[in-house]
Structure 1
Amino acid sequence: MITDTCYSADIIPDLASRRVILMCGISGSGKTYFARNLERYGFIRVSADAIIWDKYGSAIDSLSSEMQMEVFRAADDEILEIVLRMLKDGKRVVVDSTMCKRSKRDAMRRACALAGTEPLLVYLEASLSTLSRRLESRRGVGPDDLIVPLSRLHSFVSNFQPPQSDEPHIVIPQ
């Protein structure tokens, strides 16, 4: 569990009026912790890691990097479908996923626009040392505890596309 977050508790109630919150950040940045706090305000958390864990469990770690990328792409597609269904049903949603690429965020924004809403991107910005420290304690016992080897973390950091100024978002340093 993350206990060293740097956001004010006041920010979460400010987001409560939104219909869709998109979490954004590298593994270990605190997305799940933040998203779980939003559940207290009526949001339904849709987690890429939970979708994958339900299908593969800890066996996800034994898949090749290429196969894992395919699994995560399929989870992204499933998340889009779930979010649209929930919006149609009048629900409020927090998407607990890395949203590591601009193209993923754009696809989610387009889908939300079709449902008549604009999502807010919440980017949890964390240093490599913070990410590494948080990930070291993971044991792979569930979807919120996926093991991320240091080599993969470095790959995530080098391939991450942070939100740009033309993307509606807030940044919460960790």
Structure 2
Amino acid sequence: MAAVPVAPTAVSEKYDAPLVLVFMGVSGSGKSTVAALVAERLGWDFAEGDDLHPDENVAKMAAGIPLDDDDRAPWLDTVSSWIIEHAMAGVPGVITCSALKRKYRDVLREHNVVFVHIRGGAELIGRRMQERSGHFMPTALLESQVATLEPPQADERHIVVDADRAPDEEADDVLDQLGLTPA
């Protein structure tokens, strides 16, 4: 799958607001780790999308019940509000959000948003999920996440980063693909 190219000139000439990078992908792909590294390197605001879930969503996922579109709607609205607030304030940012379906990305899509799809195989991600602690998302929900995922298409502004490397290398890849220089 080819990503929509986002060259440095496209970033500087095409946008009249600072970029907001939305790190997307299935749970356990490493979005939060890589997004935090990128935000730190750039000196940009960072938000963990999981922290924006309503308590009901967290409880449902912790119980092993996949979220449906109705469950996700208020959460996506909150993530969207964060993106819009940053765009209106002229502040670049990095936020995580699974954004598994195109219609979810459509809620988040603003002219200054670039989706960063952290992509990995189910075996790798399953192993990562089993190794992490303190997260509400059980490994049992990985199958439903993989089944729900609609990878970004050619007409969506995005880049793809493979999750099979060290987080520092993946963060370097994001900066390289977007032509961004650390602060």
Q: TM-score, normalised by structure 2?
A: 0.69
- The answer on whether the counterparts of 1:20 and 1:120 sit within 8 Å (CA) in structure 2 is yes
- The answer on whether the counterparts of 1:48 and 1:72 sit within 8 Å (CA) in structure 2 is no
- The answer on whether the counterparts of 2:25 and 2:119 sit within 8 Å (CA) in structure 1 is yes
1:161 aligns with 2:150: yes
Could you tell me how far apart the structure 1 residues matched to 2:66 and 2:146 are?
Answer: 16
- The answer on whether the counterparts of 1:42 and 1:92 sit within 8 Å (CA) in structure 2 is no
Among 117, 121, 132, the residue aligned to 2:126: 132
The DSSP-based 3-state class of the residue aligned with 2:22 is strand
> 5+ unaligned residues in a row in structure 2: which ranges?
1-10, 13-17, 164-183
- The answer on whether the counterparts of 2:23 and 2:117 sit within 8 Å (CA) in structure 1 is yes
Equivalent position amino acid for 1:28 in 2 = G
Equivalent position amino acid for 2:138 in 1 = V
The DSSP-based 3-state class of the residue aligned with 2:53 is helix
> 5+ unaligned residues in a row in structure 1: which ranges?
1-15
CA offsets, 1:38-64, max 9 Å, x none? 2211222222211127x4696452485
Equivalent position amino acid for 2:90 in 1 = G
Cα separation, partners in 2 of 1:148 and 1:73, compared to 1, 3 Å: farther
Cα separation, partners in 2 of 1:80 and 1:90, compared to 1, 3 Å: same
The DSSP-based 3-state class of the residue aligned with 1:36 is helix
Q: Which residue of 1 aligns with 2:90?
A: 90
- RMSD (Å) for aligned C-alpha atoms: 2.5
Could you tell me how far apart the structure 1 residues matched to 2:128 and 2:25 are?
Answer: 13
Could you tell me how far apart the structure 1 residues matched to 2:146 and 2:132 are?
Answer: 18
TM alignment of 1:49-128, pairs within 5 A:
49-52=50-53, 55=55, 59-60=59-60, 61-62=62-63, 64-65=65-66, 70-109=70-109, 112-113=110-111, 118-128=112-122
Q: Which residue of 2 aligns with 1:9?
A: none
- Superposed displacement of residue 69, structure 1: 5.5
Q: What number of residue pairs does the alignment pair up?
A: 146
